[in-house]
Structure 1
Amino acid sequence: MKRGLIIGTILLFSLNLFGQLPYQNPKLTSEERAKDLISRLSLQEKAALMCDQSEAIPRLGIKKFNWWSEALHGLAQSNDVTVFPEPIGMAASFDDKLVYNVFDAVSDEFRAKYNQARKNGEENRAFLNLSVWTPNINIFRDPRWGRGQETYGEDPYLTSRMGISVVNGLQGPSDSRYKKLLACAKHFAVHSGPEWSRHTLNLNNISPRDLWETYLPAFKSLVQEADVREVMCAYQRLDDEPCCGSNRLLEKILRDDWGFKYLVVSDCGAIADFYNNHKVSSDDVHAASKAVLAGTDVECGFGYAFGKLPQAVQKGLITEDEINKHLTRVLVGRFDLGEMDSDSLVSWSKIPMSVVNSKDHQKLALQMAQESMTLLQNKNNILPLSRSVKKIAVIGPNADEKPVMLGNYNGYPANTVTVLDGIKSKLPAGAIFYDKGCDITEDMITESFVGNSSFDGKKGIKATYWNNKDFKGDVAAHDQITNPIQLTTAGQHQFSTGINLKGFSGKYEAVYKALRSEMLVFKLEYAGRCQIVVNGDTLLNKDSYQAVPFRIPFKVESGKEYKIEIRYSAVFDWVNASLKLNFGREIPVNYDDLINKLKGIDEVVFVGGISSKLEGEEMPLEIPGFKGGDRTDINLPASQRKYLQALKKAGKKVVFVNCSGSAIALTPETESCDAILQAWYGGQSGGQAVADVLFGDYNPSGKLPVTFYKNSEQLGNFEDYSMKGRTYRFMNNALFPFGYGLSYTTFNIGAARLSKTAIGTNETIQLTVPVTNAGLRDGVEVVQVYVRKMNDVEGPLKTLRGFKRVEIPAGKSQQVSINLNPSSFEFFDLRQQKMTVTPGEYEVYYGSSSDSKDLKTAIISILQ
């Protein structure tokens, strides 16, 4: 390697003296430069450049490049950055302009951090490069899907508009010489769970109509309207072909039909699935050639089948010319970023660190969180709360939880405001009673025995640390722990005293002498590798790249000693290490005792729901109601439901703040609670936004981007991708419908005026809707427009085709104009087998939600 660096340095020095090679000339097009560089590469080097971790080629001055970074709602796995609400919360704003501003800020912070890393010689740090695998524009068709929080909801049009704003914010102006970042539309296509079967699932019964009207429109919009530079192919099979090996998806539809010119990247490990799970290829050599020939250009992998492309060429499975075609797209992307050119040419290289979590970005995070707040119920106008209240109770498992604000694929802000923190900013300390009350999912509490154990004659657990992953060499630190362990590198400068942030290991040892025969439990959450051994028996030995809860029971006998050894190591460099550990006796929650703590307090803010520790990507989790990152039912966990019912029985006035990335079946809660505020995962300022709404400093304006079903029985088979009975477009019996959200004021929507009532297939009409704020508060309404093709019995009941947020002062009216262009009337035509506008009658619905009672109707005729 040193010899290669010396040669590369000599080459570059010589070229500075005697001229540039064509690939080094910024005056040439990216394609010209890519083709010249390819002509100088060996076949092995070409294959290496098609892997997501592309190693350096010193002899040509090519730096290492990591294709995998995440920008879902801020810089993932990075400290002291701005963390915005999860995308599902941003979708509730129906504010695509604000979403653009958010991702313009995110890309500024990405470039600033990248610029600093380069100056410090750390430009190859994981999750900090210029290709970001955002946005997730899959359709959130089923509320059980754990990754639905990453999306912009269940509607193709809303997802398209939000996705376009994300891409434009991330990539920068279209006329800029260099891209600020490369955005990625994922996961192409027809992908939305279950997480536990995504590596084997075969979707072979999706109707052409569902494919083209539901699953593909957002991808088409991002390709044709936002010029997205990357598309990620999904894990599962579609009609027997893995998506990353589907010529139909990646060549015919994506490139031939839509004109996509840039690169396709595989989901991580998807190529290995060809031979390990889907069994469509015999080995990695055949999988690599199949994927590339179908249209995949970069492999994100664990082992890299693409490294075997030279062998595939030798076997005659693929030609080097074919590899050159795909590598050209890859290198064009890198040249378009300017990462091979002088910083003096790249304006983005001058973005300073001062933008990171700047005051402007903090304000933006708060505004986005405020706009995401969605008020679902407000009986007797209990909200907003009064500041003159003598005492209010703030309780619930999510009331003072910072991680729940941050969702998944998140960064770590300098400060996270919990709901309790937000309420403290509104009331004096003496007016607030706080108690966690109950666990998210368990109606048992753990009486900790950590302090009852000992080691070497000292109370508690002995901790020993090494600054390597292997528990070897010099010991870096010792510690004695007498309380449950709660350690993390997130937002920290070290894991524990003297311990590095990365690549460390720790051993925790204790002896517990049982006072009686009983069943005890280990309760733990960790990201990394963890092993638990009790008296030589291994109770746990598992890697987890997400901090999800584990519950491990073990039986003890009276008078017997148990030697406990826990080994933890931070094996994932790209994940913030964390370890929470407790063990002891479980005791049932006594709800009467909890109610007794609230004597003299009438108003209760209960902050519950679920968290990204329970829903997310392919999680090693199986507890009642949850499986592998998904949910098995959509009810509020019983521990919380029981507590809310106890509060109702005790005569308390209850405001329920629900934190979740997905719809919860809240039918019982509409009875046990006076108000329900859907708070999603609100980012670093989520708790402040909740408090602002609760106390009336912000008038809620969020609208549901997903249907809130009445119960789990309304859902079909999770693995059935037919849209029948799913989402507002194909069902009308919701608890809270798509597009629904209350305000502290009242809006009246009058009869719309149409610019035309009969148009040709290529014409646009304008719908002008009078909206009056008939209440006493200034507020924001989201006017929504839906279209249905009449006499279309197989089509959707209605589908969103336009929306506009309007701010209207109390007592004022406004004329709201929304254009419906030809694509607004485009549906799948069975006869022509394509999306098209066909002559006929169309119903246009307009109003404040997708619910029929909130809509008015107009008729449009489309002529031949």
Structure 2
Amino acid sequence: MGLIERTAQTAAREAAADGLSWTFSPMVDIARDPRWGRVAEGAGEDPYLGGEVARAMVKGYQQGDLRNPNAILACVKHFAMYGAAEAGRDYNTTDMSRQRMYNEYLPPYKAAVEAGAGSVMTSFNEIDGMPATGNKWLLDDLLRGQWGFSGFVVTDYTAISEMTQHGVGDKTKVAELAINAGSDMDMVSAYYHDELPALVRSGKVKEATIDASCRRILEAKYKLGLFSDPYRGLRAKSETELAGQMMTPAALALSKEAAVKSMVLLKNDGEVLPLSASKRIAFVGPLVQNQRDLVGSWSAAGDWRKAVSLWNALEEKFGKDKFLYALGCNLVDDEPLRTTLNLPVDSRTPQELISEAVQVAQRADVVVAVLGESQGMSGEAASRTDIGLLGNQAELLKALKKTGKPVVLVLMNGRPLALQWENDNLDAILETWFAGTQAGHAIADVLFGDANPSGKLTVTFPLNAGQIPIFYNHKNTGRPFQARQKFTSKYLDAPNEPLYPFGFGLGYSAFKYSEVALSSPEMAMDGTIEASVTVSNTGKYAGEEVVQLYIRDLVGSVTRPVKELKGFKKILLKPGESKEVKFTVTPNMLAFYNADLQFAAEPGDFHVFIGESSATNNKAAFTMK
């Protein structure tokens, strides 16, 4: 989490230097449906991990003191459950039980509030039949009442005016609902400006309610020092001074470090990676030389021209004319979609592009295909029903496979993709996401072994879209999966297991885990026990491993998930080195919101798992009495 906090600090420092005092981040929505485009913006599917990331980002942005000239105000969003949109379609309805809300979707928001987030943004979706922006239970009873939030609430873009489309009232009514629910600031719609005076005169909105909203906003401005210095020192700085605070060498080094540590090695058969520069290597694909899409969705005023493409990084690292190159295909060939996304296009036919790529591949020892999504294929209003590689990307891979050369797939994308054919047929797959301004340097370092990948998946990768939503911490059924029994919870045409589980990720090292050891088979209701494993590096490279702790509550007053992440530690091991990794299991780790929505631990039997991913079955049992 320290790296995430440092990236938030750097973002805050650069934003503050440019006169900004507020950011619409962190986005902490739990996302379990990769059809939803905004998976790219959050921390994934797990509430514990989401909470840890939320805390780190709020701490990094606000730095404990908003008077710090390098701090900016955090805004946790989108409150709440925005990531659970039905069918994965953006802005769609969210409908779930309070049990699921409290135990699975609300924890990251609560963690951000506990970390001191100064503002909260409402979500577009409805909750229990009322849009979040006008939902008094959500904003007043829960956020302010139960959680003690003292900052201000801002609506999402035009969210108040959109309440009329939800069908809960006209312009006057939705303004009344929003202000009385606790939405302090109206973003864009101007309904407060137009309607609040008459609503106060009619008695439907109390003047004290408006005063309270104004006070919360003014308090934030005061804490930021905006009354004494509205431009936060910007007037006193020259253009040269400002430019010198942007994209400093330290910031660029941090960007590269974050990119490297975010990458996930999904497959590496025959140790085709890392590559040797002595081999003849062909780089193929529309993203090899791409800069624009490296910065991802919602990069706003970020200058993509300052991003380093993989090709530019390779030339810087090894010199010009070292490697072979072919475009291979366009990202998409569908004209309406291409126009919507404003994508560049090569006028040659798909067959001509693939033929050229095959000819180039035949001259190489190894082929690296760089494929995936443009920045517009993930993000807001970018829901997809087909989560495979679009256009002729899959056809390109099949043609490259037929050459008989080893094929490495480098992915640039914002969501989990359906990669069953790719996993079954290609030699290596490296997930790099939208890796930012230093993406090219980071990818080159990983491909050629100057960096050892250690990232783990924060979201499950399904076999296909038919498995969606799929997530590791699901509930059991009365008929759990049994391979040889028809009348159990399973599919006729596909396995229950995902392609890649939550927490999965390979490296150039290999790690072996001992059995889980417990300090005691029993734990008091107010006590703790220690769980430990010994992890050994059995590979030939020094590498980092994320050791993950999961717990299962075998019997509860309400049904419990089959497994829940409760801790993780990252260790560095040299070849042949072993380390003992210890976790302290506390009652708080075992607690959950019961049928009365009270957070408490219950006595009973538990399993504790420690391993390399959520798929681990390396466990020990204990009883809490």
**Normalising by the residue count of structure 1, what TM-score does the alignment of the two structures yield?**
0.66
Structure 1 residues 845 and 104, CA gap change in structure 2 (3 angstroms): same
Choose from 548, 564, 576 the match for 2:341.
548
Instruction: Check if 1:222 corresponds to 2:109.
Output: no
Report the counterpart of residue 362 of structure 2 in structure 1: 599
Choose from 264, 268, 274 the match for 1:374.
264
Give the aligned length: 599
Report the counterpart of residue 55 of structure 2 in structure 1: 164
Report the counterpart of residue 293 of structure 1 in structure 2: 180
Task: Give runs of aligned pairs for residues 698-717 of structure 1, distance below 5 A.
Answer: 698-715=451-468
CA deviation map 1:706-741 (0-9, x unaligned): 10111112125xxxxxxxx54454596011111111
Alpha-carbon distance, 1:653 to partner:
1.0
Choose from 510, 518, 532 the match for 1:746.
510
Distance 2:620 2:444 in 1: 40
Choose from 333, 346, 359 the match for 2:249.
359
Alpha-carbon distance, 1:811 to partner:
1.8
Which consecutive residues of structure 1, in runs of 5 or more, have no partner in the other structure?
1-95, 115-128, 445-520, 526-546, 551-579, 619-628, 717-724
- Is the Cα contact below 8 Å between 1:523 and 1:583 reproduced in 2? no
Instruction: Check if 1:324 corresponds to 2:211.
Output: yes
> What secondary structure is seen at the aligned counterpart in 1 of 2:228?
coil
Structure 1 residues 136 and 750, CA gap change in structure 2 (3 angstroms): same
Instruction: Check if 1:310 corresponds to 2:197.
Output: yes
Letter in 1 for 2:5: Y
Report the counterpart of residue 621 of structure 2 in structure 1: 859
Structure 1 residues 344 and 158, CA gap change in structure 2 (3 angstroms): closer
Instruction: Check if 1:438 corresponds to 2:329.
Output: yes
CA deviation map 1:742-795 (0-9, x unaligned): 111111222344344433334344333322222221110000001110135832
Alpha-carbon distance, 1:423 to partner:
2.6
Choose from 197, 210, 235 the match for 2:100.
210
CA deviation map 1:585-632 (0-9, x unaligned): 9665563453124332231100001122222212xxxxxxxxxx1111
Structure 1 residues 812 and 668, CA gap change in structure 2 (3 angstroms): same
Distance 1:306 1:763 in 2: 55
Alpha-carbon distance, 1:178 to partner:
7.9
Report the counterpart of residue 637 of structure 1 in structure 2: 390
> What secondary structure is seen at the aligned counterpart in 1 of 2:584?
strand
- Is the Cα contact below 8 Å between 1:661 and 1:680 reproduced in 2? yes
Choose from 583, 586, 590 the match for 1:818.
583
CA deviation map 1:421-449 (0-9, x unaligned): 2333443433311111101122x8xxxxx
CA deviation map 1:544-583 (0-9, x unaligned): xxx7238xxxxxxxxxxxxxxxxxxxxxxxxxxxxx6x79
Instruction: Check if 1:281 corresponds to 2:169.
Output: yes
Choose from 414, 417, 430 the match for 1:661.
414
Alpha-carbon distance, 1:316 to partner:
1.8
Alpha-carbon distance, 1:699 to partner:
0.7
Letter in 2 for 1:355: Q
> What secondary structure is seen at the aligned counterpart in 2 of 1:203?
coil
> What secondary structure is seen at the aligned counterpart in 2 of 1:630?
coil
Task: Give runs of aligned pairs for residues 63-142 of structure 1, distance below 5 A.
Answer: 96-114=1-19, 129-142=20-33
Report the counterpart of residue 497 of structure 1 in structure 2: none
Alpha-carbon distance, 1:196 to partner:
8.9
> What secondary structure is seen at the aligned counterpart in 2 of 1:783?
strand
> What secondary structure is seen at the aligned counterpart in 2 of 1:231?
strand
- Is the Cα contact below 8 Å between 2:17 and 2:70 reproduced in 1? no
Letter in 1 for 2:399: A
- Is the Cα contact below 8 Å between 2:517 and 2:620 reproduced in 1? no
> What secondary structure is seen at the aligned counterpart in 1 of 2:321?
helix
Alpha-carbon distance, 1:638 to partner:
4.8
Letter in 2 for 1:749: Y
Distance 1:583 1:682 in 2: 25
- Is the Cα contact below 8 Å between 1:707 and 1:728 reproduced in 2? no
CA deviation map 1:261-315 (0-9, x unaligned): 111111111100121x1110122x2211211111111111234444421111122
Choose from 130, 143, 162 the match for 1:254.
143
Bigger Cα displacement from structure 2, 420-429 vs 212-221: 420-429
Letter in 1 for 2:71: K
Letter in 1 for 2:417: I
Q: Report percent identity of matched pairs.
A: 32
Which structure has greater strand proportion? Answer: 1
> What secondary structure is seen at the aligned counterpart in 1 of 2:256?
helix
Letter in 2 for 1:420: W
Instruction: Check if 1:421 corresponds to 2:288.
Output: no
Alpha-carbon distance, 1:349 to partner:
9.1
> What secondary structure is seen at the aligned counterpart in 1 of 2:618?
strand
CA deviation map 1:138-162 (0-9, x unaligned): 0111011111100011111111111
Task: Give runs of aligned pairs for residues 660-809 of structure 1, distance below 5 A.
Answer: 660-715=413-468, 725-729=470-474, 733-792=497-556, 794-809=559-574
- Is the Cα contact below 8 Å between 2:541 and 2:574 reproduced in 1? yes
- Is the Cα contact below 8 Å between 1:179 and 1:337 reproduced in 2? no
Report the counterpart of residue 36 of structure 2 in structure 1: 145
Report the counterpart of residue 481 of structure 1 in structure 2: none
Choose from 223, 247, 269 the match for 2:158.
269
- Is the Cα contact below 8 Å between 1:745 and 1:775 reproduced in 2? yes
Alpha-carbon distance, 1:808 to partner:
1.6
Instruction: Check if 1:385 corresponds to 2:149.
Output: no
- Is the Cα contact below 8 Å between 1:397 and 1:438 reproduced in 2? yes
Alpha-carbon distance, 1:346 to partner:
8.7
Distance 2:422 2:391 in 1: 12
Report the counterpart of residue 649 of structure 1 in structure 2: 402
Alpha-carbon distance, 1:522 to partner:
8.7
> What secondary structure is seen at the aligned counterpart in 2 of 1:157?
helix
Letter in 1 for 2:63: G
Alpha-carbon distance, 1:350 to partner:
9.0
Distance 2:189 2:346 in 1: 35
Choose from 298, 315, 319 the match for 1:409.
298
Distance 1:757 1:223 in 2: 36
- Is the Cα contact below 8 Å between 1:395 and 1:605 reproduced in 2? yes
- Is the Cα contact below 8 Å between 1:375 and 1:677 reproduced in 2? yes
- Is the Cα contact below 8 Å between 2:79 and 2:123 reproduced in 1? yes
Bigger Cα displacement from structure 2, 747-756 vs 340-349: 340-349
Report the counterpart of residue 74 of structure 2 in structure 1: 183
- Is the Cα contact below 8 Å between 1:394 and 1:604 reproduced in 2? yes
Letter in 2 for 1:679: T
Task: Give runs of aligned pairs for residues 448-487 of structure 1, distance below 5 A.
Answer: none
Alpha-carbon distance, 1:817 to partner:
2.6
> What secondary structure is seen at the aligned counterpart in 2 of 1:398?
coil
Structure 1 residues 726 and 809, CA gap change in structure 2 (3 angstroms): closer
- Is the Cα contact below 8 Å between 1:764 and 1:819 reproduced in 2? yes
- Is the Cα contact below 8 Å between 1:609 and 1:658 reproduced in 2? yes
Letter in 2 for 1:607: V
**Normalising by the residue count of structure 2, what TM-score does the alignment of the two structures yield?**
0.90
Which structure has greater helix proportion? Answer: 2
Structure 1 residues 823 and 102, CA gap change in structure 2 (3 angstroms): same
- Is the Cα contact below 8 Å between 2:368 and 2:407 reproduced in 1? yes
Distance 1:348 1:148 in 2: 38
Alpha-carbon distance, 1:244 to partner:
0.9
CA deviation map 1:10-64 (0-9, x unaligned): xxxxxxxxxxxxxxxxxxxxxxxxxxxxxxxxxxxxxxxxxxxxxxxxxxxxxxx
Instruction: Check if 1:173 corresponds to 2:173.
Output: no
> What secondary structure is seen at the aligned counterpart in 2 of 1:613?
helix
Letter in 1 for 2:107: P
Report the counterpart of residue 374 of structure 2 in structure 1: 611
Letter in 1 for 2:296: G
